[in-house]
Chain A
Amino acid sequence: NAGVMQNPRHLVRRRGQEARLRCSPMKGHSHVYWYRQLPEEGLKFMVYLQKENIIDESGMPKERFSAEFPKEGPSILRIQQVVRGDSAAYFCASSAGTGEPQHFGDGTRLSIL
């Protein structure tokens, strides 16, 4: 499958735990984007990364959230000490370059108990 791969599809965590969301970009793509979508709302940009670099993290909450895209392996969105308000669908997208069309993964539905 050459598309954007996200896992897990569904993730359940209790308040205070950590959530790790993974994203492998489409083959040939080195640009990765993370978005959050609440029910009945639009997508909100969180962060834009290239290999080993964060290009724009203006949409990331200042605390508890971090993202990385290491030289080897998938991009990781990490949420520490999760709270109920973190419950959302988190989508990852990848593109071949800046300003190029982005292709999305199936998303991870995060539920906080």
Chain B
Amino acid sequence: RKEVEQDPGPFNVPEGATVAFNCTYSNSASQSFFWYRQDCRKEPKLLMSVYSSGNEDGRFTAQLNRASQYISLLIRDSKLSDSATYLCVVCLVTGGFKTIFGAGTRLFVKA
């Protein structure tokens, strides 16, 4: 089982749609969680941190369920510019310190 798993997609949605991405992680020692977006041939950019209490930034809402080891990202009112790959990131301390990126979920928003 992969340490961080994401549905690879692609998700093809019309503008204005609501889309949800899921991510599961295998190590209960995971401590920090983030969502990044990566455009084609570009560097990953931090979208938001993820907290147990859930957090919202405009059209984006992230949630963490530690009991189920599950992270989600909800995008409301999708824009064309939201088209990208969304990466789930987990940081954990296991003797050393590791940052593990999911393989990403591709999103295509169409007019």
User: Hey, which bits of chain B sit against chain A, CB under 8 A?
Assistant: 31-32, 34, 41-46, 49, 87, 91, 93, 96-104
The residues of B that contact A102 with a CB separation of less than 8 Å are: 34, 46, 99
Q: How far is the CA of A106 from the CA of B46 in the complex (A)?
A: 13
B43 lies within 8 A of A56 (CB):
no
B32 lies within 8 A of A106 (CB):
no
The stretch of A13-21, A40-48, A66-74, A75-83 that contacts the partner chain: A40-48
B46 lies within 8 A of A45 (CB):
no
A94-113 vs B, CB cutoff 8 Å, 1 = contact: the mask equals: 00001111111111000000
Q: How far is the CA of A99 from the CA of B99 in the complex (A)?
A: 9
12 A–B pairs (Cβ distance < 8 Å), ordered by A: A42-B102, A43-B44, A48-B97, A55-B96, A55-B97, A56-B96, A56-B97, A58-B98, A99-B91, A99-B97, A104-B45, A106-B43
